[in-house]
Amino acid sequence: MRITRRLVMAGLAAAPAAAARAAAWPQRPVRLIVPYPPGGPTDLLARVLAQRLGEDLPQPFVVENRTGAAGAIGSEAAARAAPDGATFLVNASAHVIVPHLQRLPYDPLADFEPVTAIAAVPLMLVVTNGLPVHSVQELIAYARANPGRLSYASSSQGGAPHLAGELFKRMAGVDMLHVPYRGSGHALPDLIAGNVQVMFDSMSSSAAVVRDGRLRALAVTTAQRQPAFPDLPTMAEAGLPGYEIATWYGIWAPGGTPPEIVLAMQRAVALAVQAPEVRERLAALGAQPLADPPRHFAAFVQAEHERWGRLIREAGIGAGQ
């Protein structure tokens, strides 16, 4: 599934700014609920977007962090909010993954109106320097020769980095132990120290430690090579054809939000991500801007929900794995 190419091409035929301004926005601040703590990638993307939307539209946009339960607390708050355009949810691809791992008090598909994707961030396959491998094929050979002895870290249970590891295990036919952490900031020191050996991590968080030599990067997980690391092969180029995954971020409105408000929000986001300063700030986070129309984003969300649900069932992944 080509995440960035399809969504970018679908979305950047945005309506003029006047069309977004003409929408019947509520005459009060608009909340962007982020179901994770401040400082993480979802929060940072939401704040970049909120600042620009507040400049383009007549009312302020305020980021509200509602944390807990792997994003379920904030997501439920957004699902139960009045469908009047005053509240939106900003979430990552975990929005369609976590429901397959735990029972939730809301339906991630039925209780929301998909608005648009915001950005996609590539993942990198990185290993500790003490591991004697310098390519994906060498990692596969080492893992096969040492079944169950390698551990792979992830920044959360049920996030894209976790499933990137599970997808790798299944496609490469290897056995590795999953060790979830509370964010990349907690996982990277253990990886550098060699307490875990492998990690699929967001490029935005691991790039610095790869550049300064504290970790070794083997590949990127997107279909194309990334400009920030042009010599780093894709997983497909490195020997796993068809392997592709990225962390993507999107916006949802509470179910029942009028279509004209949903479309106006999408158009406002499409204009915002084309602003040079926004694109520059997203690039600094390793993010590629997206802005697809609601119907395309809805189809993408449905496909991703089915894709990762199938992998979770086939791999027998439970809440504690």
Q: How many other C-beta atoms can be found within 10 angstroms of the C-beta atom of residue 136?
A: 23
Nearest-angstrom CA–CA distance, 111 and 106:
7
Q: State the pTM of this model.
A: 0.81
In three-state secondary structure terms, 254 is strand
Q: pLDDT truncated to tens, each residue of the chain (321 aa)?
A: 455 444 443 444 444 444 444 456 778 899 999 998 887 788 989 999 999 999 999 899 999 999 888 789 999 999 999 999 999 999 999 899 889 988 999 999 999 999 999 999 899 999 999 999 999 999 999 999 999 999 999 987 777 888 999 999 999 999 999 998 877 888 999 999 999 999 999 888 888 899 999 999 999 999 889 888 999 999 999 999 999 998 899 999 999 999 999 999 999 999 999 999 999 988 877 788 999 999 999 999 999 999 889 988 887 876 544
Nearest-angstrom CA–CA distance, 25 and 205:
36
Give the N- to C-terminal CA distance of the chain in Å, as an integer: 26
Nearest-angstrom CA–CA distance, 221 and 277:
27
* Bridge partners, 4 (sequence order): none
